[in-house]
A and B are shown apart, each in its own frame.
Chain A
Amino acid sequence: MTVDVTANHPAVVDGLDVNEVKDGLVVYDPKTDRVHYLNATASIVFSVCDGAHDRADIARIVGTAFSLDEPPVDDVDECLATFEREGLLQ
């Protein structure tokens, strides 16, 4: 899994249209005219991609949210890689 080093403090791109639903987020990217349906885990990752948290912070936040024994670093990396591939990260 490769994550761009610039995404160490990842931040989502501006201009996304975000709709909250009870088990996730529906995100529309007007630049690509694509809709992204984010499940609960991806929604938390997305919500803290604000440029203020690094990958370790994000993994810790997700781990706390789901009462995990260890921060899910690999899962968060995979999620960030997907966001990056889909053009959701700056």
Chain B
Amino acid sequence: MPGHLRAGRPPAVVDVTFRLLPYEIRVTADDEALERTIAYLVNHATQDGVVRRNAAYHVAGNGPYELLQDGDPMGPARTADDVLYLLYQRCYGRLLDHMTLGGWVALHGVLVRVGGGRRIMVGEKGAGKTTLALRLLHDGCPVEGDEIVFVRDGIAVALPRPFHLKPGTARLVPELAPSLDALPSTSTSDGMRIVAFDPALAGFDWHLRVGPVDGVVVLRRNHDGEAHLDELTALDAVRFLVDHAFPATESRPQLLRAAASVAGHVTAHQLEVGPVEDSARALREIG
């Protein structure tokens, strides 16, 4: 039992539990005002595999706050945003460390079932990964994740994180507009509002699977032009994955093995991302 629950304190006002692949995370807080802040972290995805580890975090006080992990002090937090930052770093940082130690390589990308197969979509920052993922989701394509895909030995699993929506997303995916204001959000250091969109809460079947992929799609930004899909060699797909791996501690050979195992023997395409509807259509017509 976490230390903060043994200490004879009154029950926490906020109490949420969610999974991050092998971890079950429980976050409690004394301050009701933190409920929406903490909701930003939470996902409701169904996830393959079993829970192997637990972590409990408690946010004590009503501001300024004191954070505890499994009863041990983690550090102070002045504001709700500070709380979110610390919890986010700790929860996702532990998961990334755990996956890396297990031989998984983290790639920046989307994992989606489209065009008759499960595909990893990778692209430069600003290529439109999340917007395209949201368009595909609303078009009936199951999207597992929009940010990081872990790969190893030819299999992949997405990071179970709500999709982070930037301003302007609702203009490109209008179905989102009515619900955006009610969703948890935070602000970046330069004032940009980022909204956390949980597909499961929006009524979609959000299931994170651990399994092989059927293809890789490299996204190239072409927002002022037309959507255009071409085949790509496996060599070029592997090269792109290697060049766009998430900075982590894995060795070069480990990264190359993982990229070759997941992209070296499947179909690969390059999509010049034009208008989002046309781009989504091009992907649906693969195969």
Residues in A lying within 8 Å of B, measured CB to CB: 17, 19-24, 26, 28, 30, 33, 35, 37-39
Contacts and interface: CB of A to CB of B under 8 A. Distances in A.
A21 B252 contact: no
A19 B260 CA distance: 6
A17 B256 contact: yes
A33 B238 CA distance: 17
Nearest to B243: A35
A22 B234 contact: yes
Interface of A is mostly: strand
A47 to B, nearest CB: 15
Contacts of A30: 252-253
A33 B252 CA distance: 8
Given A20-B264, A21-B263, A26-B264, A37 B252 contact: no
Nearest to B257: A19
B256 A19 contact: yes
B53 interface: no
B233 interface: yes
Interface of B: 233-235, 238-239, 242, 252-253, 256-257, 259-261, 263-265
Given A17-B257, A19-B261, A21-B260, 15 more contacts: A17-B253, A19-B260, A20-B260, A20-B264, A21-B235, A21-B263, A21-B264, A23-B235, A24-B233, A26-B235, A30-B253, A33-B252, A37-B235, A37-B239, A39-B235
The 3 closest A-B pairs by CB, nearest first: A21-B264, A19-B260, A21-B234
B251 to A, nearest CB: 9
Given A20-B260, A20-B264, A21-B264, A26 B252 contact: no
A5 B238 CA distance: 34
Contacts of B234: 21-24
A22 B234 CA distance: 6
B256 A23 contact: no
A23 B260 contact: no
Contacts of A21: 234-235, 238, 260, 263-265
Contacts of A28: 252-253, 256
B51 to A, nearest CB: 33
Given A19-B264, A21-B260, A21-B264, A26 B238 contact: yes
Contacts of A24: 233-235
30 contacts: A19-B238, A19-B260, A19-B264, A20-B260, A21-B238, A21-B260, A21-B263, A21-B264, A21-B265, A22-B234, A22-B264, A22-B265, A23-B233, A24-B233, A24-B234, A24-B235, A26-B235, A26-B238, A26-B256, A26-B259, A26-B260, A26-B264, A28-B252, A28-B253, A28-B256, A30-B253, A33-B252, A35-B242, A37-B238, A39-B235
